[in-house]
Structure 1
Amino acid sequence: MSRDLESKVRLNNGVEMPQLGMGVWKSNNKTAAQSVEWALNDGYRAIDTAKQYGNEAGVGEGLKKGLADNGLKREDVFLTTKVFNGDQGYDSTLEAFEGQLKRLQTPYVDLLLIHWPVNGKYKETWRALEKIYHEGKARAIGVSNFNIRRLRDLMKHSSVKPAVNQMEFHPLEQEADIKEYCDLNDIKLEAWSPLGGGEALGNPLVKKLAEKYGKSTAQIILRWDMQRGIISIPKSAHEKYIQANADIFDFELDDDDIRLINSLNVDKRSIWYGDFRWNGNPDAPVDTVDQWDD
């Protein structure tokens, strides 16, 4: 299993990133620490978190323990975190990032993303990411939840091209236009919420394919990601599912079945720009760092 989990994609700056990793959204610090340790024990070599998740400290503890348990070095694990919306801006991003490194117990991250394109701030935030990148505190930099217009605007005012655009991506939300744009501009698309929750996992077609291949519906979806060149970071707080999510390298979906899953797209986003105050919605809640009982 570990050999497959070490399979990588090459980013546009030459850095290699595992195509399958583990996310920790909606995990408290204790759960995140345990999940990261399990994942590293089970062969995962990519972990994704964010300041907004409120669990960077837990990820740092899990990373420290998992490295020690497995005789690994820090450079053996690809670590991603994200700039909190409330920290965006040049000076504030730089200051906040130092705190993120301390919580993660690392001198650098492998990938640093702008979590959302906060209007009026994301270009200054990107300038800060370029400084962090040139200082070697992030091996690659990228964005998350950027549509084509905002990607074009960012690249027009930047000297470093984003390496990754992390988007909600699953059979019901395939971001076809954004994926095509990213492919044309050598930006890797990475899937958050790759399993699409209960609706995608319970889709009749996906269930039928699971029966055909003798796999779970989650494994069918993650294999579909792999074959479409998508970087994927499924989240789980249960070791058996962490292990199962990695058991996708012993089969391939037929081209016809890939096309069938492609046909499920209904542009069903769970959250988008209108859900935020920074995009002009006065009724949206104020962005905060999620706090979970530990």
Structure 2
Amino acid sequence: MSTTTIAPLRRGSNSLNEYHTNAVAFDGIVGSTGTSQMEEIVTQTDEGYANPNGDGGRSKVSFMTWRMCSAVHVVRVHWIPCLLAVGVLFFTGVEEYMLQMIPPSSEPFDIGFVATRSLYRLLASSPDLNTVLAALNTVFVGMQTTYIVWTWLMEGRPRATISACFMFTCRGILGYSTQLPLPQDFLGSGVDFPVGNVSFFLFYSGHVAGSTIASLDMRRMKRLRLALLFDILNVLQSIRLLGTRGQYTIDLAVGVGAGVLFDSLAGKYEEMMSKRHNVGNGFSLISTR
């Protein structure tokens, strides 16, 4: 395959001609490799990005370079950010200006509570079933805790343990800083975690965050079936927590985000400490030297 050299763009009266020459040359290269039609060429100079208008200077206003084909490309390829942008406009225009907040004397409104009304009525009328589900949920909490500690003690991988420490410490700080009222119709159980119907922080859900941390570690280790099992159990425990009014929907949603966030922070901590001590990928909380 022949090689074509694209000359750099220079300032001067011939800048526009050189821009088109480069575009044609690059299009020939792309076409020879079987790649689809070239959509856009950006030529970088020592001053920044060249202005295709021919002045050779730096284009300081980004939207002045936009074209209709660029907009179509964005919508077709980057449809997720486009949907998010529509969501921003909707919630800003509708909820911020039109939604009436509930009065201070009322119970908090939670859409998850509305969706699980039938489950709540079932558990309220069947205390034994509520106790069984609470016990199973406590077993699941024990499973995720065992896995997180196991990865450190038995496999020598402390990332999940560090992540859990970060997560529960931050949860304690936030839970103490803003203490949300426990729903008046909460269906407690003596075998639920924390065991004994003791007080606990609502924001955010440690149940969900811990499960997310364990699942993320399983995926890193290619334990995909176990990760899928934990994800399913995490969904089921979320439904039960809503059904018993033990957590608000926002607690569960932020719990997922907290698990992802603190897993990422733990990874950055491992990377930082590995570089500082020049241990490569063999990071460990306990020195074996």
- TM above 0.5, one fold? no
- Would you tell me which structure has more strand in proportion to its own residues? 1
- Name which one, 1 or 2, has greater alpha-carbon Rg: 2
- Would you tell me which structure has more helix in proportion to its own residues? 2
Q: Normalized against structure 2, the TM-score is what?
A: 0.22
Q: Normalized against structure 1, the TM-score is what?
A: 0.22
